[in-house]
A = this chain, B = another copy of it.
Amino acid sequence: MHLDYTRAEALYASQDLGQEIGLGERPALLVVDFQLGFTDPASPIGGDMSAAIEATVDLLAAARTADVPVWYTVVGYRPDLADAGVWPLKYPRLDALRRNTPAVQVDPRVAPSDAEVVILKQYASAFFGTSLHSMLAAARVDSLIVTGCTTSGCVRATVVDGMQYGYRVVVAEDCCADRDEAPHLANLFDMRTKYADVAPSGQIIKSLELRSGQPSRT
């Protein structure tokens, strides 16, 4: 399949889709599913996401320096997938993501600190079947910087829900990874035009440094 977005780009612009939202007063950083089951190329559902992970290392440092709180998600199931609903009917290799195995651990290159919460989820959106929104509301967060994988899967679903739940969302595009570039770019297009801002991590880091008045500690 080959897709030409030339006409769509012109049409969307003519309907004023894709205005810039801007970050809020109290952003949080959300790292979606950078777990070994996806980021280890040897995993049956994994791929090489090194570039996005390295970019996320810098973004994490900037967030922590600026006292922007960080949440992580991982997908994990019982061995019998009894907590996976209908999803394995479509995607049987979800059985690679068994709880209490390395596949469900956050990639050590972007490891959480002791104070940062890792949310265990079963579905695509970080909001679905979790209490993420309760933690964000209790912490008075009003906007989300989103990174992770895959762009066309859990990142997209999380970004749509983030907007729906009332958060201003910016996707750090070079901190998101997918199995292949075509769905990565197609989903960045949809998110940028309809739900969220999409920006390079360098620009987001600069904005966080401006807020905190100091360069990030790496």
Contacts and interface: CB of A to CB of B under 8 A. Distances in A.
A8 B183 contact: yes
Interface string A151-164: 01100110011011
B186 A183 contact: yes
A87 B180 contact: no
A65 interface: no
A166 B21 contact: no
Interface residues on A, range: 35 or more
A70 B6 CA distance: 36
A124 interface: yes
Interface of A: 1-9, 11-12, 15-19, 21-22, 24-25, 44-45, 78, 80, 82-83, 85-87, 89-93, 115, 117, 119, 122-125, 128-131, 133-138, 140, 142, 152-153, 156-157, 160-161, 163-168, 179-183, 185-187, 189-190, 194-196
